[in-house]
Structure 1
Amino acid sequence: MLLNSYYKKGIECGTDEAGRGCLAGPVTAAAVVLPKRFKNPKLNDSKIVSLSNRTYLKEIIENEALCFGIAHIDNIKIDEINILNASILAMHDSIEQLVSIPDHILVDGNRFKTYKEIPHLCVIKGDGKYLNIAAASILAKTYRDAYMTKIHEEYPMYNWKQNKGYPTKEHRAAIVEFGITKYHRRSFRLLPEQLKLDI
């Protein structure tokens, strides 16, 4: 059973990102402040929640959260500052959008940079331990998936509506055949090691 939050005294937001390991598209982060008594048995790490339940949970979270924020950092910025810094920047930008300033930030993973001197705690696999991080993971994934589905229409040969920019065999084969697009991350090793089709 996931815990509602870590910080009990005041407002805590959970934050998480999606798309860190992709070859194309943005890294997307969300920050969510849930009511103290919020519970939902279906809410968990977005990676283990079905598409139908993610869609259902997105609506629940947006309707019941005290506030939330979403931020995309595009591939150009990722190439400029690297994926770790871009992931943290996305989380900072999503927190910046919150209507209520949090007293504490709960972060999925083990790396973060202090945001406006607000205390934070990094939790490895936190999206499977705390509801506010799990909620952020659901929003980050659903918003990023929607973004990738939209840009798929520009470059359907990469099938981003299916692989969402991750290095699937199909995606790597398409890069070998068609080259890279304006959405691909040039700082990632796209050729030749990452594109070997037997891995």
Structure 2
Amino acid sequence: MALLGAEFAMKDLGPLSFFVGIVVSRDANGMFLSQKQYATENIERAGMANCSSCPTPVDTKPKLNASKDSPYEDPTKYCSLAGALQYLTFTRPDISYAVQQICLHMHDPRNEHMSALKHILRYLQGTLSYGLHLYKSSFNKLISYTDADWGGCPDTRRSTSGYCVFLGDNLISWSSKRQPTLSCSSAEAEYR
């Protein structure tokens, strides 16, 4: 550390409490990472500050597809809000799948896609206090889970796969994405 300090001008800013929009709170059990203010700002930017909340981030209807619905009037706003939701997935793994689904349609957003995006914002409105808790743990086992919906995309028949990785009790990595190629079996997902 002394060598780094000699080479680069460094200053101790104390314990981390805020970094790139993520608030870090410490307690006896560990750390809690939250983007409540960022989520609130994006709900307001979408004009939904007084919206009612909903219990899940996705509608229970079938998956979104390349709808024949009319194009959304402001594609730039759609892309901006979808990108903001992507940033929220850093501390909100519960919205990863739903955000992945709306981001598939950023190139040609339709009214149906904007409705799905607003559904996520309504879910966030009711869960603003959620975040990512990192616990102190002596348990250091690495555990991973993965799954895929075989041929689930109604347009391309590609699978959407997802995974999450825990180190002890702590969720340290997660993802949900559509696979790049069409697969005739689920063997690849099962192998992973």
TM-score (norm 1): 0.25
Larger radius of gyration: 2
Higher helix share: 1
Higher relative contact order (CA 8 A, sep 6+): 1
Higher strand share: 2
